[in-house]
Amino acid sequence: MATKLPLVESSVSLVGKLAVVTGSNTGIGKATALELARAGARVIVACRSKDKTDTAIAEIKAAVPGAVVEFLALDLASLVKTRAAVATLRAGPAIDILVNNAGLAGSKGTTADGFELTFGTNHLGPFALTHGLMDHLVPGGRVVVVASKAHYRAKGINFEAARKTTASKTGVAEYCESKLANVLFARELAKRLADRRIDVYALHPGVVASDIWRSLPGPLEHIAKLFMITTEEGARTSLHCATSPALAGQTGLYWDKCTTRYPSRIAQQDDLASELWRRSEAWLQAGG
Ligand SMILES: NC(=O)c1ccc[n+]([C@@H]2O[C@H](COP(=O)([O-])OP(=O)(O)OC[C@H]3O[C@@H](n4cnc5c(N)ncnc54)[C@H](OP(=O)(O)O)[C@@H]3O)[C@@H](O)[C@H]2O)c1
């Protein structure tokens, strides 16, 4: 049997580093948090449900004796709650690694602030979190944005639709658009953090057997997952981007299977990336 490479290179020590991983009580995020803890980082698992997260923290601590892993309440579908999480983080030490992992798919509705639910949760919440932490990141640190190859299917960003409830029947179109927003956001963020040598990475984690498929009918979800990679494998590119010394300075790019790939042509439009940034900032200033 082929020997599996470690998820974090064995030469990398994260002792003394602070990592924040959103949506890390399950799925790709939990596997990411576990491996960052295993490499020695203090890890903040930023999640909605304390009960569900306490279970995940107990699992991580059981797998990594001595791990320092803490819960932070974070609901990305609420700008007020996201700002509260920013304030809590800013009261602590500066952050070395921020992994914007949390996301949802196949849901319909609006966020607490009236944004389309998927766009609000997958783009605007993470934008608010990262924006509030930009000057609280350690120079030389990293921001990882878990996007998706689903972004290739988006034809653009419909800024008007972002302020309304989900228009499509399945929420898939909104998901693809939110993931395009992730790639554009990472591109613009990389430029804005370059002078402090903070590197930014957008990525596709693979097609992963996580809870994200929960909106599929039960038997279909079960069968589909047989053909997917594990959550541990799904964390590989996030961890590579978050920790590999070889990637230092390779900022603003899109990654898949630990390799750079061209994102869609729309995702390479600098004017759209800066427009998304400007509009997102305006939404935050307007209070949502
Ligand atoms: N699985 C795949 O095949 C795949 C493919 C491409 C990209 N991705 C991306 O990978 C990332 C992780 O997904 P996953 O597959 O690991 O899915 P998952 O198992 O469903 O985990 C998603 C995480 O996001 C959290 N989350 C959802 N809404 C939130 C909110 N309003 N505030 C804070 N946290 C919230 C969830 O928290 P709760 O437990 O509270 O719901 C959960 O911890 C997502 O960004 C997804 O788009 C996944």
Which CATH number goes with the domain that contains 159? Answer: 3.40.50.720
Alpha-carbon distance of 197 to 27, in angstroms, equals: 30
Written as six digits, the tokens of 129 are 């979190």
Position 75 in a domain: yes
Position 73 in a domain: yes
Position 229 in a domain: yes
Residue 243 is predicted with a pLDDT of 98
Helices (H) and strands (E) in the chain, counts: 10, 8
Position 4 in a domain: no
Alpha-carbon distance of 273 to 277, in angstroms, equals: 6
Position 90 in a domain: yes
Position 10 in a domain: no
Best residue for ligand 1 mutational test, from 47, 110, 257 (most atoms within 8 Å of Cβ): 47
Closest protein CA for atom 6 of ligand 1: 148
Residue 262 is predicted with a pLDDT of 98
94 C-alpha to ligand 1 centroid (Å): 25
CA-CA distances (angstroms) from residue 264 to 131, 150, 177, 184?
24, 10, 12, 10
φ, ψ for residue 277 (rounded to 5)? -60, -50
- Average pLDDT across each block of 10 residues of the chain; the chain has 288 residues. List them in order: 70 97 97 98 97 96 97 98 98 98 96 97 98 98 98 97 95 96 98 98 94 79 86 96 97 98 98 98 86
Residue 21 is predicted with a pLDDT of 98
Position 13 in a domain: no
Q: Check the CA dihedral 126-129-135-139 and report its sign.
A: negative
Residue 2 is predicted with a pLDDT of 43
Closest protein CA for atom 42 of ligand 1: 23
Max Cα separation, the chain? 56
Q: Which residues pair with 183 in a beta bridge?
A: none
Q: Look at the block and give the residue holding tokens 């974090």.
A: 8
Spell out which residues line ligand 1, taking CB within 6 angstroms: 22-23, 25-29, 47-49, 52, 74-77, 101-105, 121, 146, 148, 204-205, 207-208, 210-212
Residue 1 is predicted with a pLDDT of 40
Alpha-carbon distance of 158 to 202, in angstroms, equals: 21
Q: Check the CA dihedral 6-9-11-13 and report its sign.
A: negative
Phi/psi region, residue 23 (left: phi>0; alpha: psi -120 to 50; beta: rest), is left
Position 288 in a domain: no
Best residue for ligand 1 mutational test, from 35, 45, 48 (most atoms within 8 Å of Cβ): 48
> How many structural domains does the chain have?
1
Provide the residue range defining the domain that includes 54: 18-282
Whether residue 182 contacts residue 268, with contact meaning beta carbons closer than 8 Å, is answered with no
